[in-house]
């Protein structure tokens, strides 16, 4: 594996660690199986790309993309909280609706950003090459996101969100407006995913309508891989595990696709993902069995 | 003070399984009184409790807490006035959160939840002090997940949590029923201590006639969704389970055949 593809894997891994943090908030903290991310990731990309292409400052465009993602999360939560549509179904409805909305926003299936300024081209000094500069910038973003979330979920409000996911009846009896907490949590979750989408479009040279396909699987894969390499119950460790999971996952994918002797090609990406998640899910089970046998 | 007037709740109305759980129930509990509520299975005890807490919406009637109408308020909006301990020890606490985080959640009951730290150093001492009084050694386990605690321990913490913030009424829903006899006794004594200390207006639903007469200042019996017996003061002091049964038979003209009620 070349240094180039290693840094490439790190770059994409860091972007997807934002997605993974979002998925962690919805699936793990709120226990809301949310597939909206398959729509909010390209939504972030679309909004970011359209804004930049129309001449907006790339930072402002990225903020707009984050807010658009958050709005998508709020809508999914509203379908669930006020219209009482089952969580999974509400998110599926939102996901397919977003496909059309994204096409409307972009006006065409893809928007190139080859010659436009991006947050990376603005921040990166001239002498630094792309494949090193981008991961460095992304590390700062991810560290901010990770510690920001750690802090937020230790506040009174953040604790109320966690209680809502863990035991909604108890949360209500302690005066927590659980509906509002679901909406808030979903906004944060999908806001992160929208941000990731905008950053992805800016590193990949443009937004594409199909860029969202399988986002949820990659996000979940990262969460599951992270939990199996760093099992913990503490919030600080959990978010760290999720970030590492996303990077390790991309690293394995790059390794598999770049090892000529295995003979895997780019089209095998989804198969490798499925296999990797299966292995990550089975490892804790095997560990348990092994531990039990040792005790006997 | 709690004032429930003419509460009616019907489950599955207009169907073959229609159940009229509350049929015009009225009850007034003055401030500071400790009322025990008994009744057979299906008498409407839990339904009544859930109506007061807001978990169940009433079809008609009104619920007043301290002269303010709460009949149509959702659970979380009543929480400032109503504290509650559930029957299931797992239901009253958040398994994934630590002991101190659970207590911090209860500390915020009735106030707005902002962006300040949930668990502050000063509060931690306060929690430790409360937990030490339980004598269960929990004061050294503040950062343990509450899921690691036994049912009895969790129920004891739930009680502490319910009393952490002032409330106008404390609801106890057979909160000792899921515990072994020794632990149940411990939790009951703790209940009496906390209620006396904070002079809480309390409504305790119980399945045991013995317990209903031994604890509190007044005993109310529900039957078919209505209050059928209401004893307090001198009359209650000398009463035995047998007297209670006789009174019930006189009032209703039927015998109680619920073993659990008679035996415990």
Output the DSSP codes for B197-227: HHT--EEEE-S-HHHHHHSSSEEEEEETTEE
Residue of A nearest to B110 (CA): A175
| Pairwise CB contact (< 8 Å): B79 & A174 | yes
Q: Is residue A238 part of a domain?
A: no
Residue of A nearest to B117 (CA): A155
- Counting residues of chain A whose pLDDT is more than 90, the rounded percentage is 73
The residue written with tokens 């013995």 in the block is B210
| Pairwise CB contact (< 8 Å): A156 & B92 | no
Q: What angle do CA B132, B137, B139 make, to 5 degrees?
A: 50
Chain A residues whose CB is inside 8 A of the B95 CB are 166-167
Question: Min CA distance, A164 vs chain B (Å)?
Answer: 9
Q: What share of chain B is helix, strand, coil (3-state, %, to 5)?
A: 40, 25, 40
Identify from B70, B81, B94, B161 which residue to disrupt to test chain A contact, counting A C-beta atoms within 10 A and taking the largest count: B94
Instruction: Please report the domains of chain B, with CATH numbers, ordered by start residue.
Output: 2-81+167-263 (3.40.50.300)
Q: Is residue A248 part of a domain?
A: no
Q: How many residues does chain A have?
A: 296
Chain A residues whose CB is inside 8 A of the B91 CB are 167, 169-170
Tell me which DSSP letter residue A26 carries: I
Whether residue B228 lies within 8 A of chain A, CB to CB, comes out as no
Whether residue B178 lies within 8 A of chain A, CB to CB, comes out as no
Given B76, B110, B113, which is nearest A172 (Cβ)? Answer: B76
B118-147 confidence digits (pLDDT tens): 998 888 999 999 999 888 899 999 999 999
Output the tens digit of pLDDT for each of chain A's 296 residues: 688 888 999 999 999 999 999 999 999 999 999 999 999 999 999 999 999 999 999 999 999 999 999 999 999 999 999 999 999 999 999 999 999 999 999 999 999 998 899 999 999 888 888 888 999 999 999 999 999 999 999 999 999 999 999 999 999 999 999 999 999 999 999 999 999 999 999 999 999 999 998 899 899 999 999 998 888 889 999 999 999 999 999 998 888 877 777 777 778 887 888 888 888 888 878 888 888 777 65
Range of the domain at A150: 3-210
DSSP tally for chain A: helices H, then strands E? 12, 2
Whether residue A157 lies within 8 A of chain B, CB to CB, comes out as yes
Q: Is residue A227 part of a domain?
A: no
Q: What is the pLDDT of residue B191?
A: 94
B39: number of CA atoms within 13 Å, CB side? 28
Q: What is the pLDDT of residue A295?
A: 64
Q: Is residue A193 part of a domain?
A: yes
Q: Is residue A106 part of a domain?
A: yes
B163-197 confidence digits (pLDDT tens): 999 899 999 999 998 888 898 999 999 999 999 99
Q: Is residue A290 part of a domain?
A: no
Average pLDDT, chain B: 90
Cβ-contact A73, A189 below 8 angstroms: yes
pLDDT at B261 over 80: no
Pairing of strands B82-85, B60-65: unpaired
Q: What CA–CA distance (Å, rounded) separates A230 from A279?
A: 15
The total number of structural domains that make up chain A: 1
| Pairwise CB contact (< 8 Å): A166 & B94 | yes
B251: number of CA atoms within 13 Å, CB side? 17
Chain A residues whose CB is inside 8 A of the B74 CB are 172
B41-50 confidence digits (pLDDT tens): 888 899 999 9
Question: Min CA distance, A100 vs chain B (Å)?
Answer: 37
| Pairwise CB contact (< 8 Å): B113 & A160 | yes
Given A167, A175, A233, which is nearest B76 (Cβ)? Answer: A175
Helices (H), B23-134: 45-53, 75-78, 99-107, 121-132
pLDDT at B27 over 80: yes
Q: Is residue A206 part of a domain?
A: yes
Cβ-contact B176, B184 below 8 angstroms: yes
pLDDT at B51 over 90: yes
Q: Is residue A259 part of a domain?
A: no
């Amino acid at each position: 594996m070349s240094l180039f593809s290693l840094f490439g894997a790190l770059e994409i891994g860091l972007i997807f660690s934002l997605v993974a943090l979002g998925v962690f908030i919805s699936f793990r903290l709120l226990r809301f199986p949310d597939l909206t991310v398959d729509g909010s990731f390209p939504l972030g990309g679309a909004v970011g790309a359209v804004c930049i292409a129309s001449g907006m400052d790339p930072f402002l465009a990225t903020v707009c993309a984050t807010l658009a993602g958050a709005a998508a999360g709020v809508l999914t939560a509203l379908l669930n909280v006020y219209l009482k549509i089952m969580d999974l179904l509400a998110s599926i409805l939102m996901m397919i609706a977003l496909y059309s909305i994204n096409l409307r926003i972009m006006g065409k299936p893809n928007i190139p950003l080859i010659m436009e300024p991006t947050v990376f081209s603005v921040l990166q000094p001239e002498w630094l090459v792309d494949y090193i500069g981008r991961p460095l910038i992304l590390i700062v973003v991810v560290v901010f996101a990770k510690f920001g979330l750690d802090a937020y979920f230790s506040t009174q409000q953040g604790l109320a969100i966690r209680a809502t996911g863990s035991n909604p009846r108890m949360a209500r009896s302690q005066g927590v407006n659980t509906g509002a907490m679901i909406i808030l949590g979903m906004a944060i979750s999908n806001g992160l995913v929208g941000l990731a989408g905008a950053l992805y479009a800016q590193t990949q040279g443009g937004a594409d309508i199909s860029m969202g396909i399988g986002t949820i699987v990659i996000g979940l894969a990262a969460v599951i891989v992270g939990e199996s390499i760093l099992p913990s119950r503490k919030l600080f460790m959990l978010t760290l595990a999720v970030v590492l999971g996303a990077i390790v996952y991309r690293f394995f994918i790059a390794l598999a696709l770049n090892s000529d002797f295995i003979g895997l090609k780019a089209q095998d990406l989804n198969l490798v993902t499925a296999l990797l998640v299966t292995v990550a899910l089975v490892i804790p089970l095997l560990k348990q069995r092994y531990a039990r046998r040792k005790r006997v | 003070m709690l004032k429930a007037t003419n509460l009616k709740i019907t489950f599955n109305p207009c169907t073959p399984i229609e159940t009229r759980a509350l049929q015009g129930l009225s009850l007034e509990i003055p401030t500071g009184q400790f009322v025990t509520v008994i009744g057979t299975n299906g008498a409407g005890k839990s339904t009544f409790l859930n109506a007061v807490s807001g978990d169940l919406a009433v079809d008609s009637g009104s619920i007043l807490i301290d002269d303010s109408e709460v009949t149509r308020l959702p659970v979380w909006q009543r929480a400032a006035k109503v504290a509650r301990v559930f029957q299931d020890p797992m239901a009253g606490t958040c398994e994934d959160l630590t002991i101190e985080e659970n207590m911090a959640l209860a500390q915020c009951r009735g106030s707005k939840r902002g962006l300040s730290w949930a668990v502050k150093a000063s509060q931690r001492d306060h929690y430790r002090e409360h937990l030490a009084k339980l004598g269960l050694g929990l004061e050294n386990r503040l950062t343990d997940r509450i899921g690691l605690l036994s049912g009895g321990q969790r129920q004891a913490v739930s009680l502490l949590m319910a009393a952490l913030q002032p409330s106008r009424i404390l609801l106890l829903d057979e909160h000792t029923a899921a515990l072994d006899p020794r632990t149940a006794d411990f939790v009951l004594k703790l209940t009496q201590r906390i209620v006396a200390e904070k002079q809480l207006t309390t409504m305790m639903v119980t399945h045991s006639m013995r317990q209903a007469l031994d604890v509190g200042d007044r005993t109310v019996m529900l039957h078919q969704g209505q209050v059928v017996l209401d004893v307090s003061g001198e009359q209650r002091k000398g009463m035995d389970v047998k007297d209670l049964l006789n009174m019930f038979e006189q009032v209703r003209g039927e015998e109680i055949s619920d073993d659990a009620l008679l035996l415990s």
